[in-house]
Amino acid sequence: NPVLAIVGRPNVGKSTLVNRILGRREAVVEDTPGVTRDRVSYPAQWTGHNFTLVDTGGWEQDAKGINARVADQAEIAVDMADAVLLVVDATVGATATDEAVVRMLRRKKKPVILVANKVDDIQNEADASVLWGLGFGQPWPVSALHGRGTADMLDKVVEILPEFSEHGGIERSGGPRRVALIGRPNVGKSSLLNKLAGSDRVVVDPLAGTTRDPVDEMIELGGRTWRFVDTAGIRRRVHMQQGADFYASLRTQSALEKAEVAVVLLAVDEILSEQDVRILNMAIESGRSIVLAFNKWDLLDDERRRYLEREIEQDLAHVDWAPRVNISALTGWHKDRLVPALDVALESWDRRIPTGRLNAFLGELVAAHPHPVRGGKQPRILFGTQASSRPPKFVLFTTGFLDPGYRRFITRRLRETFGFEGTPIEVSMRVRE
């Protein structure tokens, strides 16, 4: 989903606006500096468009200037966002704190919608127009409290958020294939990146790097160039107590959105922690192709290796379709195996099965394994088609609802028959009465 970040200083009505956008009375923690927020990200929807609303901390100007921690977090949220809602209190006008936020936003060059809040009636609209001076174009006068003007504002939001195409799959922009290297902290992402890039020119150091912007790196592998996306976040560890997990997730999500294939890095010293599972699931849900890489293989002895193989087989059964490579980012062992695995995954991801072949397959399958009869009825599959690739999505036209078990069976057979190794596939139904 596209991400909309909402920024503003305390008391401008940010939380009220969040509630208004969500259309429900969600318990949003007040903008009290220092108060821990359980959640800062919410699934939101407007006129059928889904997006993720990310609430940032309240910017506070104290004696030492802007509260650095809050500013840091908000800045990262803005980096990850596709667009920003800047909320200002129209009854107060732009304060020094607002202007500090404006300076930050101007550096980011993201689309900004300036929201003039607390415009409760027509008389207040003049207050809003003063905010043209902030340089973000037309201020959108709203009353978060009463809902006045928020519909128009949300239309505008939807207009500038990147469009989702329902049928086309993920766009292929040409150029090098785009890879997201993801995994929990310490799994060996930056070590692997250094090994792949062929030099240790970038140090594995939490303090390295000064820029906060996502950076892609072009890396030559197997005689071709690959684009590793958002590597700045890998090279430079961002250490924050509050919300660190959340921002790590946001980074992962953002990298996935830019990528075509995800290398999900796991490490054998601590396999499948909760965080590993979460990251893996994000990759699966993103619809990108996937390669699983098990790092730190150099640490294993034979006994532990056998144990681990069993554990992997059990715990990763739901991604048994993803190619697996065992590597050591430290020694470079097996690093050459990554490219063939990436090729396999991307090739599956791109693949289109001709309709004739697909229906021949479905015909044979259904003849050999008919759908079980339920209550005297037996749904039939009339016809199937691949609606998209990147990732492959199939639609089956049927005379009734297929059992989930039967649908899984068909999905599995599709995978085996056509060899969709390394890509998630989706099978949906259209029931024709």
Supply the minimum distance, in Å, between the C-beta of residue 185 and ligand GDP. Answer: 4
Which residue in 10, 176, 185, 400 binds ligand GDP (CB under 6 A)? Answer: 185
Contact status, residue 411 vs residue 423, Cβ threshold 8 Å: no
Tell whether residue 117 is among the known ligand binding residues: yes
Looking at residue 339, its amino acid is: V
3-state secondary structure of 38: coil
Under rule CB under 6 A, residue 328 binds ligand GDP: yes
State the nearest-atom distance from the C-beta of 114 to ligand GDP, in Å.
38
Helix (H, G, I), strand (E, B) or coil at 281: helix
Looking at the Cβ atoms of 20 and 251, the one nearer to ligand GDP is 251
Q: Does the annotation list 230 as a binding residue?
A: yes
Total residues at the site for ligand GDP (CB under 6 A)? 17
Our CB check for ligand GDP shows the closer of 67 and 295 to be 295
Q: Which stretch binds ligand GDP (CB under 6 A): 75-83, 187-195, 218-226, 385-393?
A: 187-195
| Piece of 75-83, 119-127, 186-194, 286-294 that binds ligand GDP (CB under 6 A) | 186-194
Stretch that binds ligand GDP, among 32-40, 51-59, 165-173, 295-303 (CB under 6 A): 295-303
CB of 310 to ligand GDP, least distance (A): 21
Q: Which of 210, 193, 211 is nearest to 202 (CA)?
A: 193
Q: Is 326 a residue that touches ligand GDP (CB under 6 A)?
A: no
- Looking at 61-117, list the stretches that DSSP marks H as alpha helix, in order from N- to C-terminal side: 68-80, 96-108
- CA-nearest of 26, 22, 27, 54 to 40 is 54
Cα–Cα dist 11/312, whole Å? 50
Q: According to the binding rule CB under 6 A, does residue 319 interact with ligand GDP?
A: no
Cβ neighbours, 10 Å, residue 224 = 12
Residue 233 lies near ligand GDP (rule: CB under 6 A): no
Nearest residue by C-beta to ligand GDP? 188
Is 330 a binding residue for ligand GDP by CB under 6 A? The answer is yes
Applying CB under 6 A, the span of 18-26, 146-154, 225-233, 296-304 interacting with ligand GDP comes to 296-304
Cα dist. 379→124, 376, 393 in Å?
Answer: 61, 10, 21
Is 209 annotated as a binding-site member? no
Query: Is residue 189 within the footprint of ligand GDP (CB under 6 A)?
Result: yes
Min dist. Cβ of residue 305 to ligand GDP (A): 14
| Rounded-to-10 torsion of CA 259, 263, 264, 270 | -150
Measured between alpha carbons, how far is residue 95 from residues 8, 10, 69, 130 in Å? Answer: 11, 12, 20, 12
Half-sphere exposure of 146 (CA within 13 A, CB side): 11
Which one among 97, 190, 254, 348 touches ligand GDP, defined by CB under 6 A?
Answer: 190
Sign of CA dihedral 204, 209, 213, 215: negative
Q: Is 19 in the site for ligand GDP (CB under 6 A)?
A: no
CA dist., res. 19 & res. 53, Å (int): 11
333 is in an annotated binding site: no
Residue whose C-alpha is closest to residue 273's, from 311, 224, 235, 221: 311
Binding part of the chain for ligand GDP, among 54-62, 153-161, 189-197, 313-321 by CB under 6 A, reads 189-197
Cα distance between the two ends of the chain: 33
User: 190 among the known binding-site residues?
Assistant: yes
Among 204, 219, 339, 429, binds ligand GDP (CB under 6 A): 204
Question: Which structure tokens are listed for 81?
Answer: 């966002």
In the chain, how long is the greatest CA-to-CA distance? 77
How many whole angstroms separate alpha carbon 17 and alpha carbon 6?
9
Residues in touch with ligand GDP (CB under 6 A): 183, 185-191, 204, 234, 295-296, 298-299, 328-330
Q: Annotated binding residues, as ranges?
A: 8-15, 55-59, 117-120, 183-190, 230-234, 295-298
Q: Annotated binding residues for GTP, as ranges?
A: 8-15, 55-59, 117-120, 183-190, 230-234, 295-298
